[in-house]
Amino acid sequence: MLKLVANNSIVSEYEAVPGRITSGPQGPKPRRILSRRNIVVYGTLIVVALYYLLPLYVMIMTSLKGMPEIRIGNIFAPPVEITFEPWVKAWAQACTGLNCDGLSRGFWNSVRITVPSVIISIAVASVNGYALANWRFKGADLFFAILIIGAFIPYQVMIYPIVIVLREMGIYGTLTGLIMVHTIFGMPILTLLFRNYFAGLPEELFKAARVDGAGFWTIYFKIMLPMSLPIFVVAMILQVTGIWNDFLFGVVFTRPEYYPMTVQLNNIVNSVQGVKEYNVNMAATLLTGLVPLTIYFISGRLFVRGIAAGAVKG
Amino acid sequence: MTGQTRGSARPNQWLRNLNAKIASIPMILTALVIFVGGTSWTVLYSFTNSKLLPRLSFVGLDQYVRLWAAPRWLISIENLAIYGFFSLIFSLVIGFVLAALMDQKIRFENTFRTIMLYPFALSFIVTGLVWQWLLNPQYGIQSIVRSLGWTNFNFDPLYNSDIVIYGILIAALWQGTGLVMCLMLAGLRGIDEDIWKAARVDGIPMWKTYVLVIIPMMRGVFITTLVIIASGIVKVYDLVVAQTSGGPGIASEVPAKYVYDYMFQAQNLGQGFAASTMMLVTVAIIIVPWAYLEFGGGRKRA
């Protein structure tokens, strides 16, 4: 390793002279390990990484302490005596409003909201995006434009009319209503993602299938679907995290017994009565973040790859 | 491609591409009923004196006059302007710089990227509560620094009405810059290696290559990113609710919260509608030029 470094230093200094690279040796530019450039790059990245990690660290530490320890110690100190009681309390006993059964109820509500919303919104948006990319019809671009511009409209402008529509349909305050709302508001970004992805697939594939006599659905199921695993994963991650993390719709469109986890969490932490139990609060916060975090860590690579596929061709 | 892909012999315009049209019904309904219909409805009712229930008794611009006379609304607007301006600038700059650093063929790229992106997976409620804890003057950063010897150190943004919005901004940047970095990185990776080689052959310094060549080439990525950031800014609500509930006093109120409180808590629908219409107008001023460029100019798309 050392020898390599020594050799390369000459080369890289040589390359640093502008205009002379053409006569230099071939191959990728070699680098020294402790060059100024490396110190700057890695130094910055490490500092930045610490900034991003700090809150997670503090959350975990706080959630494992007892209240006396929190009152005397600082938030960065690791717990002297590790206790899991805050976690138990946050899950099963913490009070939100009238109920004192912890976050467990909110967790199951969130599951019941997220699973159908994700499946329905992705199914609808993928077919939509496919139609927009490969089967353009007159006026389609107009609706698409309205949809994308609609994504900018603050939710607050549309909330009340939706309340009325759901009330008329008799599903205001229920999980069904909330699932519908999530599907509707997932539409713009998902359709955009799928449209861009399908438009990026080689056109010859589509044409060849057409020549072979395949129709709209055949091409979708036999050609497009099998080729689009990455974008489906992205859409899934976006939707699962988005819907799981939603707060506003949960508050507006459901009754307290159906509150999703985020709403319950906010009620627990920001309740005015009683002593603030910071350790329970942080355990509750971690519990709420656990599902999206798990999904993110499991599928992180695919997530990044898919985002790239969806975003670069704007 | 449209011309060749459909059978051009069919007589009826409406039946052409029927499957695609059926498939697009959810999109069309959402676009027309919810986005256009819902928005028009709210705008229409913002000219009425609806209180507990929406009623069509028009009072002209009364709601707007009251709105702009309300100190709480003025503070909300000011907060949104500060928050929006800084989060746009900071997320774009930080995101791009981080992406440029990550693009230097570094080791442990995946680890760094994972670390920077994970906050994005968390909800604003979670983010808000964590930072509420970190910025707690009694236990958090302020108390740590004081215990290290700087006893006069003050860092309690969430308890100081003058700077509370920056406390919210810190949390927002923590949550969102990772995503911007990721998008930018994807954009950088999409740029041909030859561009870099050419720039190096011509002896153009690295930063100049970024500013003059690479950034203009990444127009699409920048637009996507701007779209994502901007639409998030106007909607900011959860973060404020979790971090400060609008306090201290009304110092960290934002328009979205004003709307919610008037619609669902103060039972003053007219005010809520007027406020949300103002949010809509703000957004329209920002995006109409963009939408014109993107969709109106007849630009050829992929």
pTM of the model: 0.82
Judge whether B267 is closer than 8 Å to chain A, CB to CB: no
Is the minimum CB–CB distance between A206 and chain B shorter than 8 Å?
yes
Q: Do B174 and A49 touch (CB under 8 A)?
A: no
Of the pLDDT bands very low, low, confident and very high (cuts 50, 70, 90), residue A302 is confident
3-state helix, strand, coil in chain A (%, to 5): 75, 0, 25
The CA-CA-CA angle for residues A278, A279, A284, to 5°, reads 95
Q: Looking at the domain assignment, is residue B3 inside a domain?
A: no
Tell which residue, A123, A105, A103, A130, has the closest CA to residue A179. A123
- Residue whose entry in the numeric block shows the structure tokens 């985020």: A262
Report how many domains make up chain B.
Answer: 1
Is B57 a domain residue? no
Q: Kindly report which listed range (A299-308, B147-156, B231-240) carries the lowest average pLDDT score.
A: A299-308
Which residue has 């927002």 as its token pair? B172
B228: left (phi over 0), alpha (psi -120 to 50) or beta: alpha
Whether the CB-CB separation of B29 and B21 falls below 8 Å is answered with: no
Nearest by Cα to A152 from B146, B200, B39, B264 = B39
DSSP A96: B
Please name the member of B31, B189, B286 whose beta carbon is closest to the beta carbon of A150: B31
Residues A277, A300 contacting (CB under 8 angstroms): no
Q: What is the pLDDT of residue A30?
A: 59
More confident residue, B288 or B215: B215
The reply to whether residue A145 touches residue B291, judged by beta carbons under 8 angstroms, is yes
Do A294 and A121 form a contact (C-beta atoms < 8 A)? no
Side chain identity at residue B120, one-letter code: F
pLDDT in tens, A95-109: 776 777 888 999 999
Contact check, Cβ <8 Å, A278/B139: yes
Angle subtended at Cα A188 by Cα A185 and Cα A192, rounded to the nearest 5 degrees? 150
- H or E stretch including B224? helix B219-234
- Hey, are the CB atoms on B272 and A160 less than 8 Å from each other? yes
Confidence of residue A22 (pLDDT cuts 50, 70, 90): low
End-to-end CA distance of chain B: 10
CA distance to A110, A175, A178, A248, per residue, from A113 (Å): 5, 6, 7, 14
Are the beta carbons of B38 and A149 separated by less than 8 Å?
no
Burial of B221 (0-12, 13-18, 19+ CB in 10 A): buried
CA distance A271 to chain B (A): 11
ipTM reported for the complex surpasses 0.90:
no
pLDDT tens column, B251-260? 999 999 999 9
Q: What CATH number is given to the structural domain containing B236?
A: 1.10.3720.10
Over range A280-308, report the average pLDDT: 82
Integer Cα distance of A225 and A223 in angstroms = 6
Q: Mean pLDDT across the stretch B130-141?
A: 87
- Supply the DSSP symbol for A222: I
What is the largest distance, in Å, between two alpha-carbon atoms of chain B? 85
- CB within 8 Å: A157 and B279: yes
The residue assigned the tokens 């030859």 is B194
Rounded distance, CA A58 to CA B137, Å? 15
Select the residue of A21, A147, A297 nearest B201 (Cβ to Cβ).
A21
- Rg (chain A; Cα; Å): 26
Q: What would the two tokens of residue A277 be?
A: 């139990």
CB B252, CB B103: distance < 8 Å? no
Q: What are phi and psi of B90, to 5 degrees?
A: -65, -45
Contacts B35 to A, Cβ<8 Å: 146-147, 149-150, 153, 158
Give residue A25's identity as a one-letter amino acid code: P
Element (H, E) at B104: none
pLDDT at res. B78:
93
Token output for B134: 């970190």
Looking at per-residue confidence, does A23 or A49 come out higher? Answer: A49
Quote the pLDDT of residue A10: 38
B11 pLDDT tier (thresholds 50, 70, 90): low
Residue type, A39: I
Question: Could you tell me the residue ranges of all domains in chain A?
Answer: 36-83, 104-309
Kindly report the backbone phi and psi dihedral angles of residue B204, in degrees, each rounded to the nearest multiple of 5, phi listed first.
-80, 130
Containing B93, the helix (H) or strand (E) segment is: helix B71-102
pLDDT category, A308, cuts 50, 70, 90? low
Please state, in angstroms and as integers, the Cα–Cα distance from residue A83 to each residue in A66, A279, B75, B140, following that order: 7, 10, 43, 21
CB within 8 Å: A247 and B260: no
A104-309 homologous superfamily: MetI-like (1.10.3720.10)
Mean pLDDT over the full length of chain B: 85
Query: How does pLDDT run across B178-222, given as a tens digit for each residue?
Result: 889 988 988 888 888 888 888 888 888 888 888 888 888 888 788
Entry field: residues in chain A: 314
pLDDT value of residue A13: 39
pLDDT of B130 strictly over 80: yes
Residue A307: per-residue pLDDT: 59
User: By the CB < 8 Å criterion, does B101 face chain A?
Assistant: yes
- Of residues A124, A156, A311, nearest to B256 (C-beta): A156
Given B35, B139, B185, which is nearest A147 (Cβ)?
B35
Burial class (CB in 10 A: 0-12, 13-18, 19+), B144: middle
List of residues 6+ apart from B94 with CB closer than 8 A: B173, B177, B180, B181
Place of tokens 């009330």: A167
Give pLDDT, residue A312: 45
* Interface contact A131, partner B, CB < 8 A: yes
Which of B125, B263, B302 comes nearest A265 by C-beta?
A: B125
Contact (CB<8Å) A155/B235: yes
CB-nearest partner of B115 from A49, A146, A161: A49
Average pLDDT over residues B93-104: 91
Q: Do A143 and B24 touch (CB under 8 A)?
A: yes
Q: How far apart are CA A30 and CA A7, in angstroms?
A: 9
Question: For residue B297, what pLDDT is reported?
Answer: 55
Interchain contact, A54 vs B134, CB within 8 Å: yes
Instruction: Give the minimum alpha-carbon distance from B280 to chain A in angstroms, rounded to a whole number.
Output: 6
Amino acid identity of residue B286, one-letter, is I
| Interchain contact, A135 vs B280, CB within 8 Å | no
**Spatial CA neighbour of A266 closest among B130, B165, B267:** B130
* pLDDT class of A313 with cuts at 50, 70, 90: very low
pLDDT in the model for residue A25: 57
A300, B114: Cβ pair inside 8 Å? yes
Closest CA to A106 of B33, B123, B213, B92: B123
Give residues 231 to 260 of B whose Cβ lies within 8 Å of A: 231, 234-235, 237-238, 241-242, 245, 255-256, 259-260
CB B94 within 8 A of CB B169: no
Does B159 touch chain A if contact means CB atoms closer than 8 Å? Answer: no
Contact A157 B13 (CB under 8 A): no
* Phi, psi of B218, rounded to the nearest 5 degrees: -95, 25
Whether chain B has a CB inside 8 Å of the CB on A171: the answer is no
Predicted confidence at residue A305, as pLDDT, reads 66
CA angle A4, A5, A9 (to 5 degrees): 120
Q: Quick one: average pLDDT of A79-97? A: 85
Which B-chain residues 18-77 have CB contacts (< 8 A) with chain A? 19-21, 23-24, 26-28, 30-39, 41-43, 45, 54
Chain A residues whose beta carbon lies within 8 Å of the beta carbon of residue B91: none
Q: Do A131 and B102 touch (CB under 8 A)?
A: no
Residue B35, domain member (yes or no):
no
Bridge-partner residues for A99, per DSSP? Answer: A96
What tens digit of pLDDT does each residue of A180-219 get?
999 999 998 899 889 988 988 888 888 888 898 888 888 9
B269 found inside a domain:
yes
Query: What domain range is B158 assigned to?
Result: 64-297
The reply to whether B119 touches chain A by the CB within 8 Å rule is: yes
CA torsion, points A292, A297, A298, A300, in degrees to nearest 10? 100
Residue A106, number of CB atoms within 10 A of its CB? 26
Residue carrying structure tokens 């052959």: B201
Label residue A80 by pLDDT band (50, 70, 90). confident
Of A130, A288, A313, the CB nearest to B126: A288
A107-165 per-position pLDDT tens digit: 999 999 999 999 999 999 999 999 988 888 888 888 888 888 888 888 889 999 999 99
pLDDT in tens, B14-41: 677 788 888 888 888 888 999 999 999 9
Distance CA B296, CA B302 (A): 16
